[in-house]
Structure 1
Amino acid sequence: MDQFSLKGNTAVITGGARGLGFAFAEALAEAGANITILDIGTPQLGSLQTLAMKHSVKLEAYKVDVTSREQVNQVVETIEKEFGSVDVNINAAGVVTDEPFLTTSDKDLSSIFNANFVGSFLVAQACANAMVRKWEKIDKPKPQDAPLIGSIILISSVATHISTMAQQISCYTVSKAAVRGLVKPFAMELAQYGIRVEKTFPDLLKQFNQESMFGRVGEPDELKPAILYLAASTWTTGQDLLVDGGVSSWKHRGNW
């Protein structure tokens, strides 16, 4: 539908080389957006070319450490020059380790928080500054008539709403709770520039089948409608959107 068209927009997607991040890239490309991927990993051979040709969009992948402010700022500025603007940012990069809270090491504590929280903060900040630069170039209407300049989407975890017996992921969960904490203040500060900030919870893929009301884990494609809605909606900001197969809505019994 036209209201969900992103034709001419440019999306910056972290962790987009594979998995959920790539599924998000597919969803936005289907809606007409040009795609830029920030990842330390390498996309599957031919996957990006196939996606670009299928939907007639421009697509580029950049090898970036999202925990490096210098690298992040540099690549976002490059994207601005090569694509013209930054309109959508999806922060899907992240790491998780399955280990007990009592023995979580300093090394894992640091690496998980850097990748999941600091990386999301730095990329969202760089993209928001790019969006503000776009806002500064337009005539300033009254606040109620301000156009939508951009949208920032942060990927959290259903584990921040309900604990899972499938894994021991206390450090990961706390890092994702910190990501959740970014959404409302970001949304409040950036609204004046026509920038929306959202959060979604696609962590159903990390749960065992018995934790879902549907008796199975979710597929990456099942997150596409939520991501497209958050990227294209003009009247949603500062909200949580749980896409978890009902995991957080019932008291399930796991296997011990």
Structure 2
Amino acid sequence: MATDFFTLKGKTAVLTGAARGLGLTFATALASANCNIAVLDILHEPSPCLLALRDHHDIKLEYYRTDITSRREVSVAIEKIEAEFGRIDINVNAAGVVTDESFLTTTDENVDHTFAVNFTGSFLVAQACANSMVARYKSVHGSKPAAQPTNGTIILIASIATYIASSAQQISCYAASKAAVKGLVKPMAMELAPYGIRVNSLSPGYMMTDMMRGLQEQQPQLVDQFERETLFGRVGIPGELKGPILYLCCASASGWYTGQDLLVDGGASTWKHPAILATA
């Protein structure tokens, strides 16, 4: 159970990509803090684990099948959320795709799809949620700039790939899309601060997601490489991101933290990996 310091009771969070994967981990963390949750995802049906959060934590939780690369679909979903939840306090943009493909042969399809989901999708949902937060602020405070960062928070999910290139995968397109996402953080934080809104990003390292488990079966040497690249000799457990996401979402914990990227990578980006040098 979350302490009072990390409580989000009465708040509403809009999460993308939470039907499964790390997004589901983030939803679980916010639900444990008694946050109401609205999920936007492209899957027809979310994981049963997501829907179970509703009764387990006695929160309001709804799933909206949405193509986040479509401005029209995003607008419709946000309008429904405003009507059904009453307000939007938190936005976590976790939807993402990655394709292992050589830079020299990367296709237009890969570029278009990766940037559409990872960058454009995050941009559109963050923009819609920010407009909702700003409208609420103006209805109460008018044009007076905020003195406290308590009106809302937006979290973009970046990646360790923006800090260090891994020889284990060829994901230049993905890395570029996540760099673009991280590039939104500082200008958004500056523009939204007058409305009491904080903006940050979270950069996970190698995590044991469903996708990673699939790689472990198909390419065990790849996951072995990831493990050797961290300081603890293993990839991260998704639950180890629950604390960081709660920190970013709770103004009581991170009210003076905005315009920053929080890197959680088990130290993988801090050293020259012996695993690489040994194979040189």
Give the residue type in structure 2 aligned to 1:43: P
CA contact (8 A) 1:165 1:254 kept: no
CA-based RMSD: 1.5
- For each residue in 1:23-58, what CA deviation from the matched residue of structure 2 results, as whole angstroms up to 9, or x when unmatched? 0000001011001111012312x3233211111101
Q: Which residue of 1 aligns with 2:272?
A: 251
Q: Which residue of 2 aligns with 1:81?
A: 83
How far off is 1:141 after superposition? 9.0
How far off is 1:2 after superposition? 1.7
Q: Which residue of 1 aligns with 2:106?
A: 104
Q: Which residue of 1 aligns with 2:244?
A: 226
Q: Which residue of 1 aligns with 2:219?
A: none
Unaligned runs of 5+ in 1: none
How far off is 1:142 after superposition? 5.8
SS of equivalent to 1:237: coil
Q: Which residue of 2 aligns with 1:157?
A: 159
How far off is 1:143 after superposition? 3.9
Aligned length: 255
Unaligned runs of 5+ in 2: 213-222
Equivalents in 2 of 1:170, 1:145: separation in Å?
41
More deviation, 134-143/186-195? 134-143
How far off is 1:96 after superposition? 0.2
Structure 1 residue 43 and structure 2 residue 46: aligned?
yes
Equivalents in 2 of 1:195, 1:61: separation in Å?
25
TM-score (norm 1): 0.95
SS of equivalent to 2:161: helix
CA contact (8 A) 2:12 2:36 kept: yes
Structure 1 residue 130 and structure 2 residue 148: aligned?
no
Q: Which residue of 1 aligns with 2:215?
A: none
SS of equivalent to 2:140: coil
Q: Which residue of 2 aligns with 1:183?
A: 185
CA contact (8 A) 2:205 2:266 kept: no
- Provide the identity percentage: 58
Match among 194, 215, 222 for residue 233 of structure 2:
215
Q: Structure 1 residues 95, 49: CA separation in 2 closer, same or farther (over 3 Å shift)?
A: closer
Equivalents in 1 of 2:20, 2:50: separation in Å?
10
How far off is 1:253 after superposition? 3.1
CA contact (8 A) 2:24 2:50 kept: no
CA contact (8 A) 1:156 1:203 kept: no
Equivalents in 2 of 1:187, 1:18: separation in Å?
28
More deviation, 135-144/175-184? 135-144
- For each residue in 1:128-172, what CA deviation from the matched residue of structure 2 results, as whole angstroms up to 9, or x when unmatched? 001111112213596463451100000001111111111100000
Q: Structure 1 residues 147, 96: CA separation in 2 closer, same or farther (over 3 Å shift)?
A: closer
Q: Structure 1 residues 106, 141: CA separation in 2 closer, same or farther (over 3 Å shift)?
A: closer
TM-score (norm 2): 0.88
Q: Which residue of 2 aligns with 1:7?
A: 9
SS of equivalent to 1:66: coil
Equivalents in 1 of 2:51, 2:113: separation in Å?
32
Give the residue type in structure 1 aligned to 2:201: K
